[in-house]
C-alpha cells in the first residue's frame, strides 16, 4: 500500500497532487488547441442529437452532482441550451417529464451508483438519449448509456472524490465548447481562444498546488472550528458546495455551501467571531458583489479565508487569509478554485486525527439505495 501511495501519506493527498496529470490525461488526444480542434470520440455519433436537443438533463449524486452544476453554467453560457441538474435519487421517483428530445448526461466516477443507474433506466424508457461521463471503464453506467466519454483520471481510492471531479469538469467543458461551436453560439475566434486557455489548465493547477504548505498552516488555526460556511457565486457556487462537502466528509466538521448572495436569507445569522467563512472570490462577473458580501461578514467579525485571483490586493486587505489561484477564463475557474478547498479539508481532517481515505459511514460507491 505504501508503494501505491507513491510517497504520499494518504491516497487523497496523492490524488489531489495528481490533478495536473489527470486533467492532462483527460484532454489528451481530444484537445488540439494549436490546430483549433476538439474531438470527443464518444460524442461523434450523437452530435446531432446533442446539438438539436431541446434540453439537457444532468443526473448524478454527491460530488458528481456538483460537477453537473458547473456544467449547467458551461452549457448555458457556451451553447445556449436549457439545462436541468437533478439528484438521481429525486429524479427517479418524481415521474419527471422527459421526451426523445432530451439529452441526458449521467455523471459518475464509479459508474456503479444505484440511484444514477436507475435514473438512466427511467430516462431511457422515455426515449431520451443518455450520455455517460464515467471514470471506471466498463462500469455498469458506462454500459447502460447509449454513448459516453471516459474521464481517464485513473483509479481514485480516497473515498472523498478529488481528481475525478476535476476530470468530470474537464470532459463537460470540452462537451460544452464543442456544442457551442457546432451550434454557432461560440464564434470561431472565441472558441480557439478558449481551447488555448483550456490547454494551460494543467500547468495552472500545478502552480495552485504550490500553496500546500501555506494551506497547512492555515488549517492548524481552524482545525477546532465547529462550523464552516463556504460562499461563492456563478461558476464558484458549485465550488462552494463541493468545498463544504469535502470538509464534512472527511473532517466531520459541519459545513454549508451557499450562493454568496443567499447569505442574507439565513446563514448571516450564524456569523460571529467563531465562524470561519471561506469565500471563493476570483475576478469574474460577480467579483464586486462577492467583495461586498465579504465586507458584510467582516462587519460581523467572521473569520475570512478567501480564494482569490493572483495579485488581488482588495480582498487581501479584508480577509484573514488569502489563497491565490492563477487567472483564467471565468468558465474554467472551478478547475483551479476547488484545489485549495480540497487541500484545506485534507489538512484539517489529518490534524483532527480522522481517517481521511476511509471516513466513517461513507462508501466510495453507493450501490444500494
CA angle 357, 360, 363 (to 5 degrees): 70
Pick the stretch among 23-31, 74-82, 108-116, 287-295 that binds ligand G6P (CB under 6 A).
108-116
The verdict on 59 binding ligand G6P (CB under 6 A) reads no
Size of the site for ligand G6P (CB under 6 A): 16
The residue among 5 and 364 lying less far from ligand G6P, judged by its C-beta, is 364
Pick the stretch among 5-13, 154-162, 297-305, 347-355 that binds ligand G6P (CB under 6 A).
154-162
- Residue 138, classed as helix, strand or coil, is coil
Q: How far apart are CA 122 and CA 175, in angstroms?
A: 23
Among 110, 149, 170, 337, binds ligand G6P (CB under 6 A): 110
- Count of residues in the chain: 369
Closest separation between CB of residue 25 and ligand G6P, Å? 18
Residue 324: all three cell numbers together: 491565490
Among 19, 22, 59, 63, binds ligand G6P (CB under 6 A): 63
Burial 224-246 (b: 16+ CB within 10 A, else e): ebeebbbbbbbbbbbbbbbbbbb
The verdict on 208 binding ligand G6P (CB under 6 A) reads no
The verdict on 71 binding ligand G6P (CB under 6 A) reads no
The verdict on 149 binding ligand G6P (CB under 6 A) reads no
The residue among 109 and 166 lying less far from ligand G6P, judged by its C-beta, is 109
Backbone phi and psi for residue 225, each to the nearest 5 degrees, phi listed first: -65, 150
Residue 91: all three cell numbers together: 429524479
Q: Of 260, 247, 254, 243, which is closest to residue 339 (Cα–Cα)?
A: 243
* Active-site residue (options: 223, 289, 298, 364): 364
Q: How far apart are CA 360 and CA 354, in angstroms?
A: 9
Q: How far apart are CA 128 and CA 121, in angstroms?
A: 10
The verdict on 109 binding ligand G6P (CB under 6 A) reads yes
Q: Which residue's CB comes closest to ligand G6P?
A: 62
Residues 6+ away with beta carbon under 8 Å from 286: 233, 234, 260
The verdict on 64 binding ligand G6P (CB under 6 A) reads yes
Establish whether 364 is a catalytic residue: yes
Residue 224: all three cell numbers together: 477546532
Closest separation between CB of residue 112 and ligand G6P, Å? 6
The verdict on 113 binding ligand G6P (CB under 6 A) reads yes
The verdict on 157 binding ligand G6P (CB under 6 A) reads no
The verdict on 116 binding ligand G6P (CB under 6 A) reads yes
Q: How far apart are CA 350 and CA 252, in angstroms?
A: 11
Residues at the site binding ligand G6P, with contacts judged by CB under 6 A: 61-64, 108-110, 113, 116, 159-161, 362, 364-366
The catalytic residue positions are 364
Amino acid at each position: 500500500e505504501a508503494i501505491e501511495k507513491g510517497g504520499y501519506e494518504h491516497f487523497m493527498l496523492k490524488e489531489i497532487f495528481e490533478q495536473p496529470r489527470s486533467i492532462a490525461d483527460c484532454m489528451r488526444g481530444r484537445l488540439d488547441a494549436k490546430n483549433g480542434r476538439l474531438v470527443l470520440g464518444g460524442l461523434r455519433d450523437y452530435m446531432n442529437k446533442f446539438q438539436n436537443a431541446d434540453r439537457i438533463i444532468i443526473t448524478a449524486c454527491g460530488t458528481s452532482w456538483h460537477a453537473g452544476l458547473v456544467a449547467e453554467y458551461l452549457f448555458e453560457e457556451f451553447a445556449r441550451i436549457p439545462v436541468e441538474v437533478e439528484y438521481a435519487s429525486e429524479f427517479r421517483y418524481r415521474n419527471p417529464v422527459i421526451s426523445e428530445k432530451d439529452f441526458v448526461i449521467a455523471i459518475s466516477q464509479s459508474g456503479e451508483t444505484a440511484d444514477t443507474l436507475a435514473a438512466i433506466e427511467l430516462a431511457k424508457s422515455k426515449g431520451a438519449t443518455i450520455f455517460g461521463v464515467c471514470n471506471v471503464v466498463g462500469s455498469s453506467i458506462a454500459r447502460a448509456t447509449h454513448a459516453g466519454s471516459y474521464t481517464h483520471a485513473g483509479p481514485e481510492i480516497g473515498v472523498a472524490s478529488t481528481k475525478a471531479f476535476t476530470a468530470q469538469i474537464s470532459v463537460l467543458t470540452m462537451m460544452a465548447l464543442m456544442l457551442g461551436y457546432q451550434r454557432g453560439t461560440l464564434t470561431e475566434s472565441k472558441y480557439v481562444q478558449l481551447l488555448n486557455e483550456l490547454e494551460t489548465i494543467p500547468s495552472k493547477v500545478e502552480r495552485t498546488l504550490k500553496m500546500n504548505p501555506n494551506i497547512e498552516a492555515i488549517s492548524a488555526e481552524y482545525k477546532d472550528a465547529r462550523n464552516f460556511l463556504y460562499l461563492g457565486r456563478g461558476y464558484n457556487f458549485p465550488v462552494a458546495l463541493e468545498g463544504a462537502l469535502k470538509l464534512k466528509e472527511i473532517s466531520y466538521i459541519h459545513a454549508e455551501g451557499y450562493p454568496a448572495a443567499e447569505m442574507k436569507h439565513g446563514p448571516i445569522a450564524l456569523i460571529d467571531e467563531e465562524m470561519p467563512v471561506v469565500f471563493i472570490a476570483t475576478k469574474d462577473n460577480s467579483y464586486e458583489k462577492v467583495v461586498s458580501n465579504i465586507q458584510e461578514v467582516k462587519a460581523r467579525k467572521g473569520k475570512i479565508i478567501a480564494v482569490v485571483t493572483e495579485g488581488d490586493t482588495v480582498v487581501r486587505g479584508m480577509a484573514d487569509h488569502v489563497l491565490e489561484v492563477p487567472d483564467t477564463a471565468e468558465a474554467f475557474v472551478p478547475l483551479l478554485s476547488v484545489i485549495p478547498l480540497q487541500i484545506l479539508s485534507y489538512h484539517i481532517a489529518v490534524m483532527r486525527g480522522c481517517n481521511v481515505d476511509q471516513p466513517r459511514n461513507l462508501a466510495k460507491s453507493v450501490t444500494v439505495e
